[in-house]
Structure 1
């Protein structure tokens, strides 16, 4: 029976994302942090890990970025995109006027800052390790209110003060389902490939060179993030997402070129895009697999002394 480790505790958006992907027979196991979820997969204690990777308001989740770039490689096989609308939970009997402290994960607090100012302006805000950890703290009397994922209301003995809370309509969070390397998901025609590239600042134009390798092959870059490589001044990790699947020749060719240019290149997976967001950009004329095959036949003819 497959096991999915997810960034818990119970009642987080990550649990909701895992439930969206999971089959009936799968077992969901909450863990304390993103690195612990990934370590469970690396050690074989879980078949999959579900972790947040990107929020449309607050950007990349640094804990996930850092954990994906170190230790044994693991690869994404799917992504889930969830709309982000929160519930505010309180201990039974409390009203908005009674709330003096409100807690949540810092990303969540940032996304409801306006609502809190209007409805709970008297409350002091406190950071928790996760939205669900805030609910636990409220249940234990540490805080008066918690900003949580809606699913938390089914796990904790708290009242729903408000639900559907969000300062920005359309906010979403993207989650990855990751496993140990193995057979890749088949290409669907609407896929995303993710990589981590380590470069050096000692050579001028190194980032431009990387991006040129993608552009020359008609590959659409959908996201790029940079983080310093800890303990190594002047070296950076670049996290790139782009449209396409590694089995496409243009994508495989680009990855081989990046491998030649980078100090280190880590493949994080090719997987179907979630439905939310802009559609994948397919291969442009001159960059399809058929175009590559035709070019290979032409070159073979030249090398074989046949008429070009």
Structure 2
């Protein structure tokens, strides 16, 4: 199914894991797919209206959160997460045809990919210089353009095929359960509840005082809402000042989640809703009543009103 005049931007160039994950989503292939050189350029294009959807990496099971993505979503843009995609990651050391492991003196890749192969490089190429590229595919492209047998790239196998490089060492990631999670984001609109969803939000503290985090977590504990992820991020306001990025089981329209978010809205100086999107877990708990004129009820209703059926 096509989407005339609809554009979807992703972290490129051609051959990245981001593109591989995107291509696994058959319903998105009808969009015009546009590669961008950085995560920020994808989100900036989405924010400006140049594209309709953005697809970016958010987290790796070895290296953790992709800071460029989460910080942009928290601080720089008002965008909404509408889907997560998880991809198994296998990394290869690529080089010019005929190059061997002993030839490699310099390695290029995306910082997270370099981190995922830290043990391999330490054990097999201890003297090689490592350098950061804007993506794994960009590293492979650069090796092909430099045409130097002493330079290698850590990248997906498909990048080697695209840029006519050979696999010098395969599956070099340090942990075999290596996976990366990606977010599909849009300017506005929330997918309807599936009954198996996640909700992501950011909680900003009034001040760094004893019990401030506990007071946030207590709202979920009291309603038996399960937290899937809790991460502190620097607030950009000063050293030691943090906000909390939370992912929980349930959809914003689920009464139990609605009530928890309303309660947080009442007590916190700021709470930012990042999205509700399909997940494979079930929300639990019972709804609590509130006054329709309550400012927190008005705030949550505005979010729920954004729920839509399709792109």
Which category of TM-score, normalised to the shorter sequence, fits these structures?
Answer: 0.7 to 0.9
Match of 1:161 in 2: 168
Q: What aligned pairs does 1:133-212 form with structure 2 within 5 A after superposition?
A: 133-141=138-146, 144-182=151-189, 184-212=190-218
CA displacement at 1:117 relative to structure 2: 3.5
CA displacement at 1:262 relative to structure 2: 1.8
Instruction: Report if the CA contact (8 A) 1:201-1:234 is conserved.
Output: no
CA displacement at 1:234 relative to structure 2: 5.0
Instruction: Report if the CA contact (8 A) 2:197-2:282 is conserved.
Output: no
Long gaps (5+) in structure 2: 292-311
Among 249, 261, 279, which residue is 1:243 paired with? 249
Match of 2:22 in 1: 18
Paired with 1:166 and 1:267, the residues of 2 have a C-alpha distance of: 34
Superposition RMSD in Å? 2.2
Q: Which moved more, 1:31-40 or 1:248-257?
A: 31-40
Aligned CA distance change for structure 1 residues 101 and 221 (closer, same or farther; 3 Å): same
Paired with 2:127 and 2:47, the residues of 1 have a C-alpha distance of: 45
Paired with 1:118 and 1:112, the residues of 2 have a C-alpha distance of: 10
Paired with 1:233 and 1:115, the residues of 2 have a C-alpha distance of: 35
CA displacement at 1:49 relative to structure 2: 0.8
Instruction: Report if the CA contact (8 A) 2:198-2:249 is conserved.
Output: yes
Q: Does 1:33 align with 2:45?
A: no
Instruction: Report if the CA contact (8 A) 1:135-1:146 is conserved.
Output: yes
Q: Secondary structure at the match of 1:116?
A: helix
Match of 1:303 in 2: none
Match of 1:282 in 2: 283
Match of 2:303 in 1: none
Instruction: Report if the CA contact (8 A) 1:200-1:236 is conserved.
Output: no
Aligned CA distance change for structure 1 residues 185 and 99 (closer, same or farther; 3 Å): same
Q: Does 1:83 align with 2:88?
A: yes
Q: Does 1:99 align with 2:100?
A: no
Among 104, 123, 126, which residue is 2:128 paired with? 123
Long gaps (5+) in structure 1: 274-278, 297-308
Paired with 2:205 and 2:239, the residues of 1 have a C-alpha distance of: 11
Instruction: Give the greater-gyration-radius structure (CA).
Output: 1
Paired with 1:71 and 1:113, the residues of 2 have a C-alpha distance of: 31
Compute the TM-score of the two structures, normalised by the length of structure 1: 0.85
Aligned CA distance change for structure 1 residues 231 and 282 (closer, same or farther; 3 Å): closer
Paired with 2:282 and 2:109, the residues of 1 have a C-alpha distance of: 37
Q: Secondary structure at the match of 1:241?
A: strand
CA displacement at 1:78 relative to structure 2: 0.5
